[in-house]
Amino acid sequence: MQLDKLIAFHKTMGDAQRIRIVTLLASGPKHGGALAGILGITPPTVSHHLSRLKEINIIKDRRDKNTVYYFLNEDVLHYYSEALPKLISNREEEKVTDEKTVEYKKILDNFLSKDGRLKTIPAQRKKKLVILDHLASGLESGRRYEEKEINEFITKFHEDYATIRREFIINGIMFRENGIYELNPKELWASIE
């Protein structure tokens, strides 16, 4: 959505008479004279407000002989009414995602040496899950690994391959059957939060 259209919507709807017109049209179509009578304002004033509402596509009109009836365009009204909260919540989600990325990077920087090896296995669960997630990202989804292959993979990062291999299983990152290991779908992994 264009930000200019959202701003125009809110500017136009910032008038009490226009809100009243929209409210009246919500109960059904009306012609300009009827709106002027109900609102107690002059027909030219109603025409001015109607033209402003038409500019932002909130109302539609239909001619019936010599009379023009105005209808509320509810889809557009709902769209613009919900657009600002969605825009804000999307920005909040981006902000949270950015904060998580910074936090995860900080954890990785604290526990990994410059060559990518694990200095120590974190004791705190959240930090441990971040590290396990990072390590598991080097494994192929759908591939079946023998225990020896998993041990060799883990040894690139830390000498205690048995503990890390066990943590992969405990936290649902990997599945083991008959000495064969396979990555689980991410949905099955223990949640970091």
Partners of residue 64 on adjacent β-strands? 67
Q: Give the pLDDT band of residue 23 (cuts 50, 70, 90).
A: very high
Q: How much is the average pLDDT of 151-180?
A: 92
Q: Please say whether the beta carbons of 168 and 174 come within 8 A.
A: yes
**36-61 pLDDT, tens digit each:** 999 999 999 999 999 999 999 899 99
**121-139 pLDDT, tens digit each:** 999 999 999 999 999 999 9
Q: Please say whether the beta carbons of 183 and 139 come within 8 A.
A: yes
Q: Please say whether the beta carbons of 160 and 121 come within 8 A.
A: yes
| 22 pLDDT above the threshold of 70 | yes
Q: Give dist(CA 152, CA 150) in Å, integer.
A: 5
pLDDT value of residue 1: 42
What is the pLDDT of the chain when averaged over all its residues? Answer: 87
pTM of the predicted structure, to 2 decimals: 0.50
CA dihedral 41, 44, 45, 48 (to 10 degrees): 150
Length of the chain: 193
Q: Give dist(CA 28, CA 76) in Å, integer.
A: 16
pLDDT value of residue 2: 61
Q: Please say whether the beta carbons of 150 and 94 come within 8 A.
A: no
Domains of the chain in sequence order? 3-77 (1.10.10.10), 112-188 (1.10.10)
pLDDT value of residue 45: 94
Q: Give the pLDDT band of residue 97 (cuts 50, 70, 90).
A: low
| 163 pLDDT above the threshold of 50 | yes
